[in-house]
């Protein structure tokens, strides 16, 4: 059994977290290996496909990979993901049910927020780390910069519309620890099994934070 990590350890280790949509479980291990080889270790497998739970299981066998589940919408999905080996949970939004389920399972949760009210609800539930989603359409880096005033101790992982081109505008902020995005695993590269290209994209992403 892998050692439990805190949400801060997850965010610091995964400065850039790939948001993965996996259609074929057979792609999971080679994809994870390519990402880890490129220097990207924290991997978020979204529960958006039938193959996702099997993909999590497969990825946990890859040395160096720290695998979590994304697009987790409720307690039942959280439990399934944890059972498959997910070491952290990401959700697009925040519900009390999900926050309680994560606490009960003892798994780090990065719940999605987009407004000050969302953050306040998260604080009430004992959360201090959030996914900022969808980042680019929710005000982007200027919005996060504004959150640093009232929520000085809160840290974020923005995702949604982030790429190599704009990631640095987020990393420039004191309340951003990591960013997430799907740009490291283009659909055509996955379909073609072009793991070399994915490794290159991972290497470029990992270099963003030095």
Long-range pairs of 134-143 with CB within 8 A, sequence gap ≥ 24:
134/159, 134/160, 134/161, 135/159, 135/160, 135/161, 135/162, 135/170, 135/179, 136/160, 136/161, 136/162, 136/166, 137/161, 138/114, 140/166, 140/169, 141/166, 141/169, 141/170, 141/172, 141/173
Stretch that binds ligand 3PG, among 6-14, 26-34, 160-168, 186-194 (CB under 6 A): 160-168
Q: Is 156 in the site for ligand 3PG (CB under 6 A)?
A: no
Q: How is residue 120 written in tokens?
A: 């306040």
Q: Is 20 in the site for ligand 3PG (CB under 6 A)?
A: no
Task: State in angstroms the smallest separation of the CB of 133 from ligand 3PG.
Answer: 6
Q: Is 202 in the site for ligand 3PG (CB under 6 A)?
A: no
Q: How is residue 98 written in tokens?
A: 């999900």
Q: Is 161 in the site for ligand 3PG (CB under 6 A)?
A: yes
**Site residues (CB under 6 A) for ligand 3PG, limited to 71-130:** none
Q: Is 160 in the site for ligand 3PG (CB under 6 A)?
A: yes
Stretch that binds ligand 3PG, among 78-86, 95-103, 178-186, 193-201 (CB under 6 A): 178-186
# residues near ligand 3PG by CB under 6 A: 11
Q: Is 175 in the site for ligand 3PG (CB under 6 A)?
A: no
DSSP secondary structure letter of residue 92: S
Q: Is 68 in the site for ligand 3PG (CB under 6 A)?
A: no
Would you tell me which residues interact with ligand 3PG (CB under 6 A)?
19, 70, 133, 159-162, 180-183
């Amino acid at each position: 059994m892998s050692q439990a990590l805190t949400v801060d350890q997850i965010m610091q280790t995964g400065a850039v977290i790939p948001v993965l949509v996996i259609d074929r479980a057979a792609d999971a291990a080679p994809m994870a290996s390519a990402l880890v080889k490129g220097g990207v270790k924290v991997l978020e497998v979204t529960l958006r496909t039938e193959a996702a739970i099997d993909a999590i299981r497969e990825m946990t066998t890859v040395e160096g990979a720290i695998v979590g589940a994304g697009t987790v919408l409720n307690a039942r999905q959280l439990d399934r993901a944890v059972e498959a080996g997910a070491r952290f949970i990401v959700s697009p939004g925040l519900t009390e049910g999900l926050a309680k389920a994560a606490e009960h399972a003892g798994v780090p949760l990065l719940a999605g927020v987009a407004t000050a009210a969302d953050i306040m609800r998260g604080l009430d539930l004992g959360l201090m780390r959030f996914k900022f989603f969808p980042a680019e359409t929710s005000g982007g880096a200027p919005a996060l910069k504004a959150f640093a005033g009232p929520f000085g101790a809160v840290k974020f992982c923005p995702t949604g519309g982030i790429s190599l081109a704009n990631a640095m505008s987020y990393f420039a902020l004191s309340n951003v620890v990591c960013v997430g995005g799907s740009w490291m695993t283009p659909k055509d590269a996955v379909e073609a099994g072009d793991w070399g290209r994915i490794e290159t994209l991972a290497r470029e992403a990992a270099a963003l934070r030095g």
